Amino acid sequence: MKKNKVFQFAAIGLASIALLTGCNSGASADKDSGDGEKVRTVKVAYDQASKPISYIDDSGNPTGYDVEVMKLVDELLPDYQFEYVGTTSDDLLIGVEQGKYQVGVKNAFFTQERTEKFIFPKEFLGLSSAGLVLRKEDEGVKTLADFAKKGYSLAPIAANNAQYTIIDEYNTTNPDNKVKLEAGDAFTVDVVQWVNEGRVDGGVMIEGPFKQQVLAEDGPYYNLKDEVVYNEFAVIKTWPLFNKKEQEFADAYDKAIAQIKEQKKTNELSTEFYGRDLFEVLENVNR
C-alpha cells in the first residue's frame, strides 16, 4: 500500500515537471484579451544602436522614431501585443527572414532585392534624410553629381546595405559621372572618423545619427563639429520589414499606420526625434 502511494506521488511529480517544462519551452502562445478574443504576441526587432531612429534610452526602454511609431500601431491593433527585441542590424535582417522576429524596424530603405526576403507593406513607416559627410573645406559639394565630378573617394558600403543601392542607382542613371562605389565587408563603417582622418573624401550617412554623433554635446565626435559637415542629397521613405509569412499582420499594420499618418502623429514624432518634420517635403520624395 505504501509503495502504491509512493508511485502515485512520483507520477504526480513527473506530470507537474512536464507541465512546467511545457509552459517555459519558449513556444509563443496566444493570450486571452479578457473578452474572449485571442491576442497574438509578435516580436518586433529594432536596431538598438541607431539613435535617434531606434535605441535604448537611459532607463533601459526601447525608443526612437521607428519604435515610437510602432507603439502607436500596437495601440490600434487589439488582436496583437508587440514585444520589442533590441538587436543588431545584421541579426534583425536574418532574424526577420528566418521568422525569429515577425517584423523589424531599422530605418530600412526599399530595394528590389529585399522584396525576395521580406514583405514590404503598402504604407511606409517614416522618412529619412540621407547625405554626404565631408570635410569642412568641401562643404560646397552639395550633390552626388558634385561629388562624382571631383573624383572623390567614398567610404565603403556593404552591398546588402540599402545605402549601397542608392549610390548604385545614381551610377546607373549617370554613367558618365559615376561615384566611386566600393563594397565593404562590414554593414557600416565609422564614416565620420574615416572622413576626418582623410582615409576617404566623403561618406554616406543618415542625418539623425550624424547629429547625435557630431552636433550633440555628448556625441563622440562633438569635437569635430567645426571640421566635418553634412550635406543632404535625398529624403527617402523608410519601411518596416515583415517576415514572408506575415501578410495578415502587414495588412493590419497598413490600416493602423494610415490612421496615424492622417492624425499627423508621424509628423510630431519626426520633429521630436529628428528635429524637423520630414513629412513637409514628402511630395518631393522620389524614393
Which CATH number is 49's domain given? 3.40.190.10
- Residue range 1-5: mean pLDDT, rounded: 41
Same-domain status, 152 and 208: yes
pLDDT band at 30 (very low <50, low <70, confident <90, very high): low
Same-domain status, 244 and 260: yes
Query: Which pLDDT value is given to residue 32?
Result: 56
Residue 11 lies in a domain: no
Helix axes 247-262, 65-75, angle to 10 degrees: 100
Residue 2 pLDDT exceeds 60? no
Residue 251 pLDDT exceeds 90? yes
Residue 7 lies in a domain: no
Residue 93 lies in a domain: yes
Residue 229 lies in a domain: yes
Residue 13 lies in a domain: no
Question: What separation in angstroms does the CA of 257 have from each of 55, 66, 77?
Answer: 21, 12, 10
Query: Which pLDDT value is given to residue 98?
Result: 98
Same-domain status, 136 and 226: yes
Same-domain status, 223 and 252: no
The side-by-side arrangement of strands in the sheet containing 54-56 is 49-50, 54-56, 62-63
Grid cell 519626426 is found at: 270
- CA proximity to 93, closest of 129, 156, 47, 144: 47
Q: In this predicted structure, which of 11-25, 39-53, 152-166 has the lowest mean pLDDT?
A: 11-25
Tell me how far apart the terminal alpha carbons of the chain are, to the nearest angstrom. 79
Same-domain status, 122 and 252: yes
Same-domain status, 225 and 132: yes
Same-domain status, 181 and 102: no
Percent of the chain with pLDDT over 90: 81
Average pLDDT, the chain: 89
> Domain boundary residue among 220, 236, 252?
236
Percent of the chain with pLDDT over 70: 86
Same-domain status, 156 and 230: yes
Same-domain status, 115 and 161: no
pLDDT tens digits, residue range 218-232? 999 999 999 999 999
| Domain encompassing residue 65 | 31-127+238-284
Residue 2 lies in a domain: no
pLDDT tens digits, residue range 40-91? 999 999 999 999 999 999 999 999 999 999 999 999 999 999 999 999 999 9
Query: Which pLDDT value is given to residue 185?
Result: 77
- 247: number of CA atoms within 13 Å, CB side? 2
Same-domain status, 249 and 185: no
Grid cell 571631383 is found at: 150
- Residue range 260-266: mean pLDDT, rounded: 98
Cα–Cα distance for residue pair 101/105, rounded to 1 Å = 11
Residue 112 lies in a domain: yes
pLDDT band at 31 (very low <50, low <70, confident <90, very high): low
Residue 219 lies in a domain: yes
Residue 175 pLDDT exceeds 90? yes
Q: In this predicted structure, which of 24-38, 138-152, 163-177 has the lowest mean pLDDT?
A: 24-38
Q: Is 186 exposed, middle or buried (0-12, 13-18, 19+ CB in 10 A)?
A: exposed
Same-domain status, 217 and 160: yes
Same-domain status, 118 and 246: yes
Residue 138 pLDDT exceeds 60? yes
What's the domain count of the chain?
2
DSSP per residue, 227-245 = TEEEEEEEEEEEEEEE-TT
